[in-house]
Amino acid sequence: MTIKDLEKAALEIRINLLTLCNRESIHIGGDLSVADVMTVLWLKYMNYDPKNINAEDRDRFVLSKGHASAVTSFCQAMIGCFLAEDVINEYATDEGRFSMHSCNLVNPYVEVSTGSLGHGMPVACGMAAALRLKGNKKSRVYTVMGDGEQSEGSIYEAAINAVNYKLGNLVAIVDNNGLEADGKIEDITGLGNIADKYRTFGWNVIEIDGNNIEEIVGAFDALPGADSDVPTCIVSHTVKGKGVSFMENNPCYHAGKVSDDELKEAISALKDQYVKRWGHE
């Protein structure tokens, strides 16, 4: 896919997120910040066939940042797992496959149920180790984490083990938007430089503007082979609520709903941004 194709897909995913947020409460701020990275990963780089979801040579995806379930579902809809309308219509219903956190008991396209922060990274580490034990040198395990989540000790236990066991098939992506539910990360947990922490553990670290599609593509293109010995951490510097001016860097939009007027304003602004860059929709 071209950069233009990916940006158009990211626009559509953002519109779907806002449409859903008009109906149900979702973690809209974090969904919007990670939307670009998720779009590029799922539409261009993930080796994943919706018609053969148990293929042994598939890439695995673990959403450690469990609150980003909506954007994950809309990305999966883009590659044909189901329809975007299914996500919107079934979300938070008793018989639905989609909710605030991804659950593989009701949705077979979810590799691992997540929600409790700090759990996805260790699971992904275990998956990567299992693939190595099976002799699989082609598949990767991708996990997406939040920056607030980096205060969990289980993250760093996994990070140390990934280096020790030479899990170059593991790619961890940190959505570094600088905010969590209660405010700024630096004021609440004082994490400091996340990229330097992973470098200290011995990871290959790539830092990017996570809301720049070209930089995201460059980062994935620069990944070492899945058969390499060093795991990679992509620290994706993003803006929470990206693309919607009244949401950007606003902790009030960590989670919740948008009104009809806010929905119209947000979608109009997103379309205008795309038209200014490409000249037309």
Domain-wise residue ranges, the chain: 3-278
Residue numbers of the chain with a pLDDT score lower than 50: none
Chain length of the chain: 281
Q: Which amino acid is at 29?
A: G
Beta strands in the chain (DSSP E): 60-63, 141-146, 170-176, 179-180, 183-184, 204-209, 232-237
Which ranges in 202-247 belong to alpha helices (H)? 213-221
Q: What is the pLDDT of residues 118-155, one digit of tens each?
A: 999 999 999 999 999 999 999 999 999 999 999 999 99
CA 33 to the chain's CA centroid: 9
Cα distance between residue 245 and residue 249, in whole Å:
9
| Angstrom distance (rounded) from CA 144 to CA 172 | 6
| This model's pTM is above 0.85 | yes
Predicted local confidence at residue 281, as pLDDT:
60
Tally of CA atoms within 13 A in the half-sphere of 10 that contains its CB: 30
- Residue 115 is predicted with a pLDDT of 84
Lookup: tokens for 7? 């940006």
For residues 39 and 13, the answer to whether their CB atoms sit within 8 Å is yes
Of 199, 188, 182, the C-alpha closest to 174 is: 199
Residue-wise pLDDT for 55-96, tens only, equals: 999 999 999 999 999 999 999 999 999 999 999 999 999 889
User: Is 3.40.50.10860 the CATH classification of the domain at 3-278?
Assistant: no
> CA dihedral defined by 20, 26, 29, 30, rounded to 10 degrees?
-110
Q: What is the model's pLDDT at position 116?
A: 83
Residue 96 — left, alpha, or beta (φ > 0 → left; ψ -120 to 50 → alpha)? beta
pLDDT, position 35: 98
Say how far apart CA 144 and CA 52 lie, in whole Å: 23
